[in-house]
Structure 1
Amino acid sequence: MEFTLLLDPHSPVPCYQQIYAALRQKILTGQLAPRQRLPSTRALAQSLGVARATVTQSYNQLISEGYLQTVVGSGTYVGDQLPETLLHAPDTEPGPSASPSPLTLSAYGQRLANFAAGPSTEPNTPISFRYGRPALDQVPLGIWRQLLSRRCRRADWLDYAADPMGYGPLRGAIATYLTQARAVQCHPDQILITNGTQQALSLATQLLVSPGDTVALEEPSYLSARRIFASQGANLHPIPVDGDGLNVDILADATGPIRLVYVTPSHQFPTGAVLSLPRRLALLTWAQRQGALILEDDYDSEYRYGGRPIPALQGLGSGQSVLYLGTFSKVLFPSLRIGYMVLPPALGPIFSRAKWLADRQVPTLEQAVLADFIAEGHLERHIRRMRSHYDRQRQAMVTALQTHFGDRATILGDKAGLHMMVRFQTDIPDAELIARAEQAGVGLISAAPQYLGNSPGHEFIFSFTELDADAIATGIEKMSTICAQLQS
């Protein structure tokens, strides 16, 4: 038999899919009855003016889904086992009895539902001062590709990892690097490889913080860390930050036991302050006296432009009260989800079990490539080169702010890291300035969400890593113009 199928040669949908959809529709609507014989693939192809292979592909898909069946020596037929309800499904609305039961979340799920759990909205503008990303165009992809190719010629990374703590050679390379570059006191056995800093924070919170425990943290502080602590049911106790970092005197005066304190001492996020040596020693003494633990997040300490990097807090004490966190996402590229923790020896076994239950392991291939990258000296050379690159970008940002704002803009913190926080002398609400800047093609990030309490306002976080000097100057100039227009 012959029948008509309408094909659109200009449609982006391939011809075989058009034929498949048309035949399926005829079967479902009864235009092609069960056990009705269809034309051969050759005949239908000639009728439609398409290649026989195109019709064959359509038939094969319909056969695999049960709409057609073949009979050897006879031909292709509409399937005779199609359910009657599928061919004549009535259009009905579900009644009240069909309403699904409401889902009940756990206490953890309910806490997550109380705040925005996903990534924050970032500006999608030609010039964006968003923070958290390194200069991706400076990543030594050629070297990384060579190391990856070399590793892929081997098969020792295909199986499950033997140790949930991480790939042994990478842990050894990290231990050597941290000892030399950050004065961290550690042995490879103390290092746990994690899927970024987020997982490190999550594991530490699950294992060390019970609902109702108090967690002290800097004010302002890293929003994602704060959300992780809150999701566990912790009581959050903000401690003010000034030019010397966390105010340890105020921490010491806090009433009630504090289970854990979260700090970013080498480049406080987001203010950029560096925790002074007297306060570092005071914090270690306080933690030992109180039996509290310190989470030291050393997220971008490699980049310091006014001298050598500040030694880690962990290396100043016995290492028994400090859990040291680091990441390679800021040093190399964000999709490299490899972070690490340096744990007090007593905590290693329980963190190993928790890591195994969470996701078993970080992908071995990426760990092996990173271990080679470090061991062969590529990481050290990359950091040295990027330190000079980011220093130039930061100077361009400072110059632009001084040129267009003068003393109406105060750069907070030290000469370090991948961002700076700037306080402006203005009466313009943050939201209005952000909206007007976005209309002008400039993306701004307010520091207000990083505060647990009330934000003083007029503070913004600027990254200088992804923009060249011209784009930085243009973005700051546009911001200055907008401020002048809104205040006139």
Structure 2
Amino acid sequence: MVLSRDDTNPIYLQICARFKTAIAEGRLVPGDRMPSVRALASELGLSRGTINLAYQILAEEGYVEFRGAAGTFVDMRLRTPEKSGAPPPAPRGVLSEQSPNARPFQLGLPALDAFPRKTWNRLVSHCSRQLGAGQLGYPQLTGLPALRERIAAYLALSRGIACQPEQIFVTAGHRASLGLIMRALYRPDDGIWFEDPGYPVAREFLLSIRARLHPVPVDCDGLMVEAGRRLAPHARFAVVTPANQSPLGVMMSMERRTALLEWAGESQRWIIEDDYDSEYRYNRRPPLSLKAMDRGERVLFTGSFSKVLYPALRLAYLVVPQSEIETFERACRAASAGCPEFHQAVIADFMEQGYFIRHLKKMRALYADRRQLLVDVMHDVFGDRVTAISPPAGLHLAMQFQGYRAPASQIAALAQAEGFGLQPLSLWHMGPQLIDGLLLGFTNLESREMAGSLARRLKDICIAAGRERRA
């Protein structure tokens, strides 16, 4: 490796450039081991700090990955270059992350390009070095104590929930939280109020275990409690997303919250509060959670790390009333093997050292910008034929399209065939559909050029769908 102190670029950037060229030309391929910091520093006559800095930059840019004591390797997610020696250009409008889930306008996916991988990898390496015989046995069924403590502290600060770590159960995702609740408390033939429109993943899971769901309409104030009383007066559960209704983004009004808590207290009913995207409101703070307002211990609070960190973790949590801890512990012993503790330990460190709060603050600002970018670009491309109907919140936009002959479901079907990740509102409905529209994720829109390219492709699809319907 030839370096020059006369070059205008500092030495560490020259090292970065040499490795990038080697990767682009195929002399280094994904999975190849990089020279150790000590060896390369000795070979070039430089300090190890200079080499470390170059490797850190390469890691942040996605060229290399650290594997603890095993060393540093060319990142496996890089595409292998063509034999011509030139790296293949990324197609216009395609997300830069090589994730099979990161489709254009994909819902439910955080910004993959903005995750603090450098910090995360350092904590992973630290936890790996601390791994001892005590961590190699079976995991604790209710979750790692350190993580339960950190979740309790975070909920007290952010959601006004006063709970003990013993009330928190760490689960393998939102469906696992629902499954634990059903095993612990659900009785055959219990009715469940379910928001309409509402989260289809939760709906399909509950239907798969033969739960009796009753769709209850949602308006600008959230779940219509009086409609629920009329439609399913004997229901024993209600599944709600009061902080950020899924998918419309509205907040449940204080009047409705009070009415729902009164309903639950009347006949020992249960409210399952899904704290869906509560972290992401861009023009105001969400009100207190239902759990924080609950004086009768009728609220079961669920949260997840999938959208605030990343989905591959498959970790969520459930907060239960103090009086029900033993009931849920029995359900855990009967049906759960616990969750792997390694990543629980990493999350606990991430939270304890203050990175979690800083990450959320950074993401709120980034998502507010990307949401506005999508609104602006859609209006530039579609004009007055498109309207955003969801408030400034969450990780997607609900939009209505006017002047196209095809319904949103047909547009969505064509778009999905073209690789888009958007969804029609009809997918989220159980009962009669009152609103027709599309749901578009904006979290991974990295530039105006990308957003514009995708919007223009979507407009072509809308026109094509109208032609198909007319034919």
The equivalent residue for 2:324 is: 347
Quick one: which of 96, 105, 117 aligns to 1:141? 117
Mapping 1:52-91, distance limit 5 Å: none
What secondary structure does 1:128 align onto?
A: coil
Mapping 1:76-475, distance limit 5 Å: 128-154=104-130, 155=132, 156-161=134-139, 163-318=140-295, 320-425=297-402, 426-438=404-416, 442-456=420-434, 458-468=436-446, 469-475=448-454
| Matches of 1:264 and 1:485, distance apart in 2 | 36
What secondary structure does 1:269 align onto?
A: coil
State the one-letter code of the partner of 2:366: H
| Matches of 1:326 and 1:486, distance apart in 2 | 38
What secondary structure does 1:475 align onto?
A: helix
Unaligned segments of structure 2, at least 5 residues: 1-98
| Runs of 4+ displaced beyond 6 Å | 123-126
Does the CA contact (< 8 Å) of 1:209 and 1:232 recur in 2?
no
Does the CA contact (< 8 Å) of 1:206 and 1:232 recur in 2?
no
What secondary structure does 2:387 align onto?
A: strand
Distance 1:127 1:342, change over 3 A: closer
**Which piece of structure 1 moves more, 341-350 or 305-314?**
305-314
Cα distance, 1:297 vs structure 2: 0.4
Identity of aligned residues (%): 37
| Matches of 2:237 and 2:465, distance apart in 1 | 44
Distance 1:427 1:455, change over 3 A: farther
What secondary structure does 1:335 align onto?
A: helix
1:349-390 deviation line (CA, Å, top 9, x unaligned):
121222233332111111111111101000001111111111
| Matches of 2:419 and 2:328, distance apart in 1 | 46
**Which piece of structure 1 moves more, 460-469 or 225-234?**
225-234
1:264-315 deviation line (CA, Å, top 9, x unaligned):
1111111111111111111111111132100000131111101223321111
| Matches of 1:127 and 1:372, distance apart in 2 | 31
**Which piece of structure 1 moves more, 334-343 or 403-412?**
403-412
| Matches of 1:124 and 1:436, distance apart in 2 | 19
Cα distance, 1:459 vs structure 2: 1.5
The equivalent residue for 2:94 is: none
| Matches of 2:419 and 2:325, distance apart in 1 | 48
TM-score, scaled relative to structure 2: 0.73
What secondary structure does 1:241 align onto?
A: strand
| Matches of 2:279 and 2:296, distance apart in 1 | 21
TM-score, scaled relative to structure 1: 0.70
| Matches of 1:471 and 1:312, distance apart in 2 | 36
What secondary structure does 1:210 align onto?
A: coil
Cα distance, 1:244 vs structure 2: 1.2
Cα distance, 1:319 vs structure 2: 5.8
State the one-letter code of the partner of 1:472: A
**Which piece of structure 1 moves more, 191-200 or 299-308?**
299-308
Does the CA contact (< 8 Å) of 1:440 and 1:478 recur in 2?
no
State the one-letter code of the partner of 1:320: E
The equivalent residue for 2:462 is: 483
| Matches of 2:160 and 2:311, distance apart in 1 | 25
The equivalent residue for 2:18 is: none
Which protein shows a greater Rg?
1
Unaligned segments of structure 1, at least 5 residues: 1-122
Cα distance, 1:424 vs structure 2: 2.0
| Matches of 2:312 and 2:417, distance apart in 1 | 30
Distance 1:165 1:399, change over 3 A: same
